[in-house]
């Protein structure tokens, strides 16, 4: 998943999405951009090249997790199309979600004052201000967080995942009672112990 700029709503949507995916019985991991930078990319800054390397590292982790059945939500800002395309190819099971939000709304939401500092030049390479952002040409989904509630945006993602076959409907998921019966039956046949 790909998101736009700071305060567009990516973290809030991601956390609600994680909870909803768990209701479908999925193991879920969020790769938050700040957490990744702190733990995996301490050696990198915010230049274009460093941003690309950050996305490459995130894509690698996403690939490892997804091939083991974990649904991964990446909230990293990835300003360049080429880096996102490489991530798509690396991961395989990938959807691009464009969280679209006007800059002025993001500035209003910014309680930390990061945009204010970026406009003053106190923060360099700030995506959307002093650093470019290349909008996706054909994302699987676009969310307009200045027009939609978090619930509406999250439900759009769930619907898209079901439509693309990445997620079964809740009707397709066994209840715990049905699961117990299946496990008991398989155990009785000697397939599991």
Phi/psi at 143 (nearest 5 deg)?
-110, 135
Among the listed residues 14, 78, 153, 176, the single catalytic one is: 78
**Angle CA(18)–CA(101)–CA(24) in degrees, nearest 5?**
15
| Tokens, residue 129 | 């201000």
Say how far apart CA 162 and CA 149 lie, in whole Å. Answer: 20
Look up 11 and say whether it is catalytic.
no
User: If you ran DSSP here, which 8-state letter would residue 191 be given?
Assistant: S
Contact 28, 129 (CB under 8 A): no
Q: Which residues have CB under 8 Å from 90's CB, separation 6+?
A: 56, 59, 60, 62, 63
Say how far apart CA 190 and CA 180 lie, in whole Å. Answer: 15
The burial of 77, by beta-carbon neighbours within 10 Å (0-12 exposed, 13-18 middle, 19 or more buried), is given as: buried
Contact 103, 127 (CB under 8 A): no
The residues that are catalytic are 78
């Amino acid at each position: 998943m790909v998101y736009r700029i700071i305060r567009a709503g990516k973290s809030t949507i991601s956390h609600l999405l994680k909870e909803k995916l768990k209701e479908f019985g999925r193991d879920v991991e969020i790769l938050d951009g700040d957490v990744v930078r702190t733990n995996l990319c301490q050696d990198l800054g915010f230049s274009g090249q460093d941003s690309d390397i950050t996305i490459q590292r995130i894509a690698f982790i996403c690939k490892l997790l997804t091939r083991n059945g974990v649904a991964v939500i990446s909230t990293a800002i990835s300003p360049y199309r080429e880096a996102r395309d490489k991530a798509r190819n690396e991961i395989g099971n990938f959807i691009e979600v464009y969280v679209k939000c006007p800059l002025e709304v993001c500035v209003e939401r910014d309680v930390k004052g990061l945009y204010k500092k970026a406009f003053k030049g106190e923060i360099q390479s700030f995506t959307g201000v002093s650093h470019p952002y290349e909008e996706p040409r054909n994302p699987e989904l676009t969310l307009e967080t200045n027009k939609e509630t978090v619930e509406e945006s999250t439900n759009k993602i769930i619907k898209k995942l079901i439509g693309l076959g990445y997620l079964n409907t809740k009707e397709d998921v066994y209840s715990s009672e049905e699961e117990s019966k299946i496990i008991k039956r398989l155990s009785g046949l000697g397939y599991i112990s």
